[in-house]
Amino acid sequence: MSNLDVEKIRQDFPILDRVIDGKRLVYLDNAATSHKPVQVIKSISNYYEQYNSNVHRGIHTMSEEATTAYEGVRETVANFIGAKETCEVIFTRNTTEAINLVAYSWGRQNVLPGDEIVLSPMEHHSNLVPWQQLAQEREAKLVFLELTEDGQINMESAKQLIGSKTRLVAVTQMSNVLGTITPVTELARLAHQHNAIILVDGAQGVPHLKTSVAELECDFYVFSLHKMLGPTGVGILWGKKEILNAMPPFMFGGDMISSVHRDKSRWNELPWKFEAGTPNIADVIASGVAIEYLQNLGMDNVRAHEVEITAYALKRLGEIKGITIYGPKDANLRGGVVAFNVEGIHPHDLGQILSDSGVAIRAGHHCCQPLMKDLKVMGTARASFYIYNTLEEVDLLMAALKEADKVMGHVACR
């Protein structure tokens, strides 16, 4: 049993009171984006009502207040992910932009013809397409790790596939389809043995698992705040200082320079070298509030709650005739993302009929088309849980699935 007071938590999320077509909202699409507590929503209006100003520029009171709040979040993020220094934390728009930053800046400087970039087969397109582009441009090769039957990284094959040609290993910390938790530290050690570096896509990891970049032993770590109670439009790139220092800027313009002449410019120091132009000030500040909210709950409690609800969902969904559930069977080995297919019902039909019952899930390829091909499906239905979900909502999902089966002519449910 987790120590989260879910009923109390739910009171902080006004959107959970929504009624859709007369049905209470059951929101099980948290892997796409989480909801935001009032504390985060109020932080945004408070910024615009009380101290809306640009950062790093003015010397007036409000600009100083905005700069202090904005830079304070860098420290909050650094503490949350166990980063040694705040200058290693760079604000981006999202995970996707953070990965592109590394692919453009580090990749084009360091990846040479014949080099290998090692990925897992369950990467989100955000952690695949930028590397495809880089590999094409640099005549490098993409190499894919293998998965076991229940969707875990096959470490024996990883030992064969990561070698002297490997320049970079780029893997998700937690799959947004299979829920698989990747053995990042073991992969980091393998990469480092061969003088390669490792980038970890934490988009589905850090919202749910206590995370320390030092313990993961990674070189880059990226994530999006909108999946962890924060607003959209804020992502984080964390990188080791010596690697970031050696990288050229990704974007050019204001704020990222130390001096500009007609014919040349000098770059600002970290982290601002990578933050060109006016940043997303209000949302970065609100992101700090989101992290503090999670810290107050305790990430161990967040994880325990999700293991409990995922175990229950796996058990209940397993009662459905003709269901295929993807990923590890043990809730302790996976995150709170459960992708499934019911024989005879297209996942999009399932998503639509569930929506008519007030239950919001995601259906489709989840931006993982190569993985769908490996699973030999066009797409899946996917329920994903967070701190405010209850066991009762899993029962409502089951009731909605039974309704879907009825609508489709009793093809599945027992």
Q: Which stretch binds ligand C6P (CB under 6 A): 1-9, 158-166, 197-205, 371-379?
A: 197-205
Among 34, 43, 67, 95, which residue interacts with ligand C6P (rule: CB under 6 A)? 95
DSSP letter assigned to residue 209: S
DSSP letter assigned to residue 345: B
- By C-beta, is 151 or 268 nearer to ligand C6P? 151
Rounded Cα distance, 73 and 45, in Å: 17
* 31 lines the binding site for ligand C6P (CB under 6 A): yes
Among 362, 387, 394, 401, which residue interacts with ligand C6P (rule: CB under 6 A)? 362
Task: Please report how close the Cβ of residue 101 comes to ligand C6P at its closest, in angstroms.
Answer: 12
Query: For residues 326, 329, 330 and 335, what is the CA-based torsion angle, rounded to 10 degrees?
Result: 0
Task: Please report how close the Cβ of residue 171 comes to ligand C6P at its closest, in angstroms.
Answer: 10
* 96 lines the binding site for ligand C6P (CB under 6 A): yes
DSSP letter assigned to residue 237: E
DSSP letter assigned to residue 127: G
Q: Which is it for the CA torsion 165, 158, 216, 150, positive or negative? A: positive
Host H or E run for residue 222: strand 220-224
- Check 87, 218, 367, 413 and give the catalytic one: 367
Q: Which stretch binds ligand C6P (CB under 6 A): 106-114, 124-132, 156-164, 249-257?
A: 124-132
- By C-beta, is 203 or 309 nearer to ligand C6P? 203
Q: How many residues bind ligand C6P (CB under 6 A)?
A: 17
Rounded Cα distance, 172 and 179, in Å: 10
110: helix, coil or strand?
helix
Q: Which stretch binds ligand C6P (CB under 6 A): 45-53, 199-207, 300-308, 371-379?
A: 199-207
Start-to-end Cα distance in the chain: 29
- By C-beta, is 95 or 380 nearer to ligand C6P? 95
Tell me the CA distances in angstroms from 408 to 262, 348, 352, 394, 404, one per residue in order.
68, 13, 12, 21, 6
User: 175 exposed, middle or buried (CB, 10 Å; 0-12, 13-18, 19+)?
Assistant: buried
**How is residue 216 written in tokens?**
């993961």
Q: Which stretch binds ligand C6P (CB under 6 A): 90-98, 150-158, 323-331, 341-349?
A: 90-98
Q: Which stretch binds ligand C6P (CB under 6 A): 44-52, 140-148, 149-157, 361-369?
A: 361-369
Among 120, 126, 182, 287, which residue interacts with ligand C6P (rule: CB under 6 A)? 126
Residue 263, Cβ neighbours under 10 Å: how many? 5
Among 117, 366, 397, 401, which residue interacts with ligand C6P (rule: CB under 6 A)? 366
- By C-beta, is 74 or 365 nearer to ligand C6P? 365
* 94 lines the binding site for ligand C6P (CB under 6 A): yes
Closest CA to 117 of 163, 160, 85: 163
Task: Please report how close the Cβ of residue 365 comes to ligand C6P at its closest, in angstroms.
Answer: 9
Tokens 């050229």 correspond to: 248
Q: Is 367 a catalytic residue?
A: yes
For the segment 155-174, give every residue that binds ligand C6P (CB under 6 A).
172
Q: Dmax of the chain from CA atoms?
A: 74
Residues that bind ligand C6P (CB under 6 A): 31-32, 94-96, 124, 126-127, 172, 176, 201, 203-204, 224, 362, 366-367
Catalytic residue set:
367
